[in-house]
Structure 1
Amino acid sequence: MAVPFSIGKILDSATRVDGTVFGMQLEHFCVAFLAILAGGACASCGQMALLKIIGERIITKLRSSLYKHTYVQSAEFFDTHRVGDLLSRLGNDTTMVGRSITDNLSDGLRSLAFATTGMGMMTYISYKLVGVLALAFPPLAAGAFLYGRAVRDLSRRIQTNLGTLTRIAEERLGNVRTSQTFTGERQEVRRYNHQTREIFNLAKREAVISAAFFSTSSFLGNATFLALLYVGNSMVRSGSITVGDLTTFVMYTGVAGGSLFGLSAAYSDLMKGMGAASRLFELQDHHPTISPTKGMAVESARGTIQFHDVGFAYPTRPSTPAFDGLSLKIGPGSNVAIVAPSGAGKSTVASLLMRFYALGRGAITINGHDISKMNARQWRRRIGLVGQEPVLFSGSIAENVAYGKTEATKSKIWEALRLANCHFVHDFPNGVDTLVGARGAQLSGGQKQRIAIARALLKDPDILILDEATSALDVESEKLVNQALEPLRRGQSTIITITHRLSTIPRSDTIICLGADGRVAQTGTYHQLMADKEGVFAKLVKQQMSER
């Protein structure tokens, strides 16, 4: 900021007899001033590096905090929020907010400081010339306010559409084989292109608004500068101001004008950051309906399980209840099969028992204790769940089997694999260190299913839930897996099998048959239920036999 003032004094020194500047010879002053400029450059370098590091640290902490907050949400949150949109918030939005906090805020404050200092020096030199510049302030301020509000809204809409675009790409690329099977490639490309056009149209509107604002601001600035030169020329002619002072004033005008222009740009980017920040605040303000860490400590999940008049509807389908008065009882250490017509809520029983969702009414108890009052994380540690669609993570077989029980030794992992009939692992050159690929893509469906079963067995759970867990296995593999479950059946573990396969049902001690209304229709042994030819269970078996 001292450069314009110094240049003005250097120009005025040409009219002095001694040619000094601030009492110094011109060459001495230039050397000293050059040293000051070098110091300023070093300080600027340090400032830029420091702000860059601070910005990256803010982004890192913001992403970590949001990811942790997202990961503890209840299942209903992920039913209503697509993964692609969440990825966009964790990626694009956090980057934009981080840049706004550091780069844009820093640039804005620096521009504000330069503009304020420049205006101060200009006021010191000439009140009259400052009055000329002040004429442009009201329209510029009004334009900046309207522009900032428009850009903030557009930025939020762009970020929302970017989230949708990421979701489309994540979902479709993750299921590309299905698209290729049904020759839906062109349809998916059109879907993606449609979304990119939506983003382009919003970005085009933002570009037009930005161009209009900055070009208008530039015109007003240049017109004001021309008026300044006209008035300044008259003042030099009248002797009211020296050529050096006018030069200094003009240079400070350039500094202040450039700073105001930079302030407008920083304000624009800051408004974009606020649009992205609103999406992050929306995510941060969402609290899970089921806290994973609050509640009574869980020492054991062994005991009598009871559903007491349970009413439940999925949050995405509140008008269609899955259960309306479900009551059932599962004895400790029993081997129970739950069967029902398609869509009657078999798998929902497992989801509620795992406390993925909060009940609409009623209660689920273990030994008379309401599980909703228990620590959800500790409760889930006592339960092993194997779903119909096994989920494996990128990494090795050992890492997937020991997921959630990282202290497990290799011998324990091998034992769990043996019990789950995963003998195919011996055929891999790297054994349990074999990488399974993204979502287990390097393994067959049956292999993934057996590894998922091994993961549940390694957990040695008090309650084991098999939700169509053997659906991807052949008859012989299913037989071997059922044999592997015998130690759990003979022990104190409760096994709940949700299935429709006739080969699995007779192995259960008790069969709970749900009706189409989501209530218990029949309970008993296989032979007891088959004896009732008009019962729901016998009709289900007959229907399945006829479909073979």
Structure 2
Amino acid sequence: MNLYSKYFNKYKIPFGIAVFCVASEAICDLLGPTLMSNIINTGIEQGSLSKVYYWGMLMLIVTAIGAVFAVTRNILASKVSQRMGADLRYDLFEKIVYFSELSTDKIESGSLITRMTNDTAQVILFVNGIMRIFLKAPITCIGSIVLATLLNFRLSLIIYGVVAIVSILIIISMKLSYPRFYELQKAMDKVNSVVQEYLIGVRLVKAFGTYDKESSKFENANTNLMEKGISSQSVITFVSPLITLTVGIGTIIVISAGSSLFSANLANPGDISAFVIYMAQILTSLIMITNIFNTFVRTKASTARIKEIVDCDGDFSHDGEMKELNGNIEFRDVTFAYPNGSGVPALNNLSFSIRSGQSLAIIGPTGSGKSTIAWLLLRFYDVNKGKILIDGYDVKELNVDSVRNSIAIVPQKPMLFSGSVAENIRWGKREASNVMVHEASEKAQAGFVNNMKDGYESMLGSAGVNLSGGQKQRISIARGILRDSSVIILDDATSALDSVTEAKVRENLGSKTSNQTVITITQRCGTAMFADRILVMDNGSKVGYGTHDELMQSCEVYRDIYKTQIESSKEV
């Protein structure tokens, strides 16, 4: 498993100590039957009590030493496996943080959660097992076979036959188990996704009363998980008893053959007793080895899923040139279609420019490509054709951090986090003082915060569930204002605000002393008409660009929007 090599290298010293302890413990266990054989052969049979005490005391000492090794490797196994698990989870999270948009679309969030929790837990279990019992089982098994052979070669032939049959059963178990365990993990993904979707849309479910539909979706996913679980365990259910039966039959044959050899003076009682114990140890080891391989199969399936995350494309290079950007923006013949989409361009030969300090409104019907402009500007995706320039620099040649540090975006659906109001606003600039937070809130018309029980220290639930839509939007706008970047994009960010509040927010943004470029994506003509320039989009193409008055003269799409929204409202 090359994926985990760096973790094993990091903890190679405690891992090596654990391996030494496991090997030493196994040797101590293997000495037990031989010492017991000596007790019987040299002590009991010969009537020598001193020999019984001698070999018995030696057996106790060996057992105590083995116990010390067992405790040591258990402690090391727990610490190392948990630390490796923590490192793996951190690395996976860091990878997810820098996912490209294409990678984000590739693996759904429910599956990512399963992979970071259930799959990594399986890896932790496997590593812990390696250090505790996985290495002990083959050492004990091989050692028992070797020592049994040294005791009596004739009886050892029975063991060889038993091990050969069990090996075939283990190979069959592995081949049948792997695809079943992989499907089991996928079924678990589906259950997580269904639960996550319900929790995200719980209010909508309640509003539409679609409880039965959601329960049915969960029942189907849960039943599928149950069936996959039964299928994956069925192989083990059949194979394990067969292994026990095989070793049991082998033990009976050993006792029967040993009796015959004893009658022929070819074996003594101590050897036969030791042989039976070695057979018991071999049985225990083979069962452990079977469990090892089953755990390995599950870990292999989990590793394949973890590797899918590791192999996903990361975000664009952060190694480009860092620049202080002022917000002069130009789209030059930009064409773009979403990867793995329909193939129809979301933007088609789009060209426009806006100078730093100006305001631009982007308006058009739903699906006309308005938000796509924002995603490309933030370089969530790269254009298929053309160029996007900021201050004359192609965004592809700039460090992606310098591009995004110069742009603040306020999305249509505000994303708030559990924590205080101040923490959510300060998310736009961590080092911001309380005064700066309050000023940004005032400009965003978020004065309602002062009336909350604990003011700016009032705690918000996950996604701001204890706020109204308009309140969440205003906190989100305050966050964007606090960032104080060269460009601010309002992606339909005032849709939940009344016209008076929206006008005040727009006025505060326009009155900023800095030369901030303000881009407003909207479907409201009443919002767009106050911008310095208006870009009218339709089906991914620019159908108009200019001031409100210019577009009323030259752009039919804009006139239709104006007549539908403004003139019709006046008539009412």
Query: Which category describes the TM-score, using the shorter chain as reference length?
Result: over 0.9
> How far does the alpha carbon of each residue in 1:120-139 deviate from its partner, in whole angstroms, 9 at most, with x for none?
11011011111122123333
Q: Could you tell me how far apart the structure 1 residues matched to 2:156 and 2:560 are?
A: 93
Query: 1:543 and 1:302 mapped to 2: Cα distance?
Result: 33
Give CA-to-partner distance per residue, 1:108-129, whole Å, 9 cap, x none: 2110111111111101101111
Correspondence 1:492 to 2:515: yes
| Counterpart in the other structure of 2:420 | 396
Q: Could you tell me which of 294, 311, 314 is aligned with 2:319?
A: 294
2:398 aligned partner: 374
* Alpha-carbon separation, structure 1, partners of 2:153 and 2:243: 23
Report how far residue 288 of structure 1 moved. 2.0
2:549 is the counterpart of 1:527: yes
Among residues 26, 32, 38, which one is paired with 1:3 in the alignment?
Answer: 32
Consecutive aligned runs of 4 or more in structure 1 exceeding 6 Å deviation: none
8 Å Cα contact 1:108-1:267 kept in structure 2: no
- Tell me the secondary structure at the aligned position of residue 46 of structure 2: coil
Structure-2 change in CA distance of 1:121 and 1:149 (3 Å): same
Alignment of 1:15 with 2:37, yes or no, is no
Q: Which residue of 2 aligns with 1:50?
A: 76
**What is the match of residue 204 of structure 1?**
230
Matched residue SS, 1:136: helix
Give the TM-score of the pair, scaled to structure 2: 0.91
**Please, which of 371, 379, 389 is the counterpart of residue 347 of structure 1?**
371
Matched position secondary structure for 1:507 = coil
1:333 paired residue among 347, 357, 367: 357
Name the CA shift for 1:205/1:105 in 2 (closer, same or farther; >3 Å): farther
Asked if 1:502 corresponds to 2:530, the answer is no
Structure 2 residue identity aligned to 1:514: M
Q: Counterpart of 1:135 in 2: which secondary structure? A: helix
Q: 2: CA distance between counterparts of 1:48 and 1:273?
A: 20
Contact 2:38 2:55 in 1 (8 A): no
| Structure 2 counterparts to residues 78-97 of structure 1, below 5 A | 78-97=104-123
Q: Which residue of 1 aligns with 2:200?
A: 174
TM superposition shift of 1:190: 1.0
How far is the alpha carbon of 1:348 from its aligned partner? 0.8
For 1:388, what is the secondary structure of its paired residue? coil
- Which residue of 485, 498, 501 corresponds with 1:461? 485
Farther off after superposition, 213-222 or 453-462? 213-222
Structure 1: runs of 5+ lacking an equivalent? none
Please state how far the C-alpha of 1:403 moved relative to its aligned partner.
Answer: 0.8
The DSSP-based 3-state class of the residue aligned with 1:485 is helix
TM-score (norm 1): 0.95
1:246-325 matched pairs, under 5 angstroms: 246-288=272-314, 290-291=316-317, 293-303=318-328, 305-325=329-349
Query: Cα distance 1:242–1:279, how it changes in 2: closer, same or farther (>3 A)?
Result: same
Q: How many angstroms does 1:38 deviate by?
A: 2.5
Q: Which amino acid aligns with 2:514?
A: G
Distance 2:53 2:428 in 1: 74
Task: Pick which of 26-35 and 357-366 moved more.
Answer: 26-35
1:28 CA displacement: 4.9
State yes or no: 1:477 paired with 2:504.
no
Work out the CA distance in 1 between the residues paired with 2:264 and 2:289.
Answer: 36
Give the superposed CA RMSD.
1.6
Asked whether the equivalents of residues 363 and 521 of structure 2 are also in contact (C-alpha less than 8 Å), the reply is yes
**Identical positions, percent:** 27
Quote how far apart the aligned CAs of 1:105 are. 6.0
Is 2:383 the counterpart of 1:359?
yes
Contact 1:296/1:374 (CA < 8 Å) preserved in 2? yes
Report the CA distance shift for 1:406/1:491 in structure 2 as closer, same or farther (over 3 A).
closer
Counterpart of 1:535, as a letter, is E
Tell me the alpha carbon deviations over residues 248-298 of structure 1, each in whole angstroms, 9 at most, x when there is no partner: 11111111221112111111111111111100011111122523x221112
Instruction: Give 2:460's aligned residue.
Output: 436
Residue 471 of structure 2 aligns to a residue whose secondary structure is: helix
Query: Do 1:327 and 1:519's aligned partners in 2 also have CA atoms closer than 8 Å?
Result: no
SS at match of 2:526: coil
Give the total of aligned pairs: 539
2: CA distance between counterparts of 1:171 and 1:281? Answer: 25
Q: Deviations over 1:49-95 (max 9, x none)?
A: 21011111111111000010011012222223211111010000000
8 Å contact from structure 1 (residues 132, 227) kept in 2: yes
Q: Deviations over 1:389-436 (max 9, x none)?
A: 111111111111111421111111111111111111111231111111
1:155 Cα offset (Å)? 1.1
What is the CA distance between 1:141 and its match in structure 2? 1.6
Residues 472/316 of structure 1: CA separation in 2 closer, same or farther (3 Å cut)? farther
**Does the 8 A contact of 2:360 with 2:520 survive in 1?**
yes
* C-alpha contact (below 8 Å) 2:363/2:535 kept by paired residues: yes
Secondary structure, in 3 states, of the residue corresponding to 2:350? strand
Helix, strand or coil for the counterpart of 2:518? strand
Name the amino acid aligned to 2:116: L
Residues 36 and 59, structure 2, Cα contact 8 Å, conserved in 1: no
1: distance between equivalents of 2:179 and 2:407? 46
- Output the amino acid matched with 1:414: H
Query: Aligned partners of 1:210 and 1:370: how far apart in 2?
Result: 59
Q: Indicate if the aligned counterparts of 2:126 and 2:296 stay in contact, CA closer than 8 A.
A: yes
**Residues 57 and 131 of structure 1: CA distance in aligned 2, closer, same or farther (over 3 Å):** same
Instruction: Identify the residue that residue 540 of structure 1 maps to in structure 2.
Output: 561
In structure 1, C-alpha distance between the alignment counterparts of 2:496 and 2:36, rounded to whole Å = 83
**Contact 2:166-2:286 at 8 Å conserved across structures:** no
Moved more, 138-147 or 363-372: 138-147
Match of 2:8 in 1: none
Give the C-alpha shift of residue 142 in structure 1. Answer: 2.0
The range that moved more, 378-387 or 324-333, is 324-333
Contact 2:371 2:491 in 1 (8 A): yes
The change in CA–CA distance for 1:327 and 1:524 in structure 2 (over 3 A counts) is same
Which of these residues, 106, 129, 137, is aligned with residue 111 of structure 1? 137
Q: Given the alignment, which residue of 89, 101, 107 partners 1:75?
A: 101
Q: 1:222 — aligned with what?
A: 248
Q: Is the 2:428–2:480 contact (alpha carbons within 8 Å) kept by the matching residues of 1?
A: no
Find the aligned partners of 1:169 and 1:320 in 2 and give their Cα distance.
33
Q: Is the 8 A contact 2:417 2:464 kept in 1?
A: yes
Contact 1:105 1:270 in 2 (8 A): no
* Residue type of the alignment partner of 1:194: N
Contact 2:73–2:132 (8 Å) recurs in 1: no
> Which residues of structure 2 form unaligned runs of 5+?
1-29
In the alignment, residue 525 of structure 2 is paired with which amino acid? L
Aligned-residue offset at 1:32: 4.5
1:163 equivalent to 2:189? Answer yes
Other structure's SS at 1:407 match? coil
Q: For residues 404 and 41 of structure 1, what CA distance do their matches in structure 2 show?
A: 57
- Say if 2:472 is the partner of 1:448: yes
Structure 1 131/28 Cα, relative in aligned 2: closer, same or farther at 3 Å?
Answer: closer
The 3-state SS of whatever aligns with 2:351 is strand
Q: Is the 8 A contact 2:327 2:517 kept in 1?
A: yes
Separation in 1, partners of 2:57, 2:276? 25
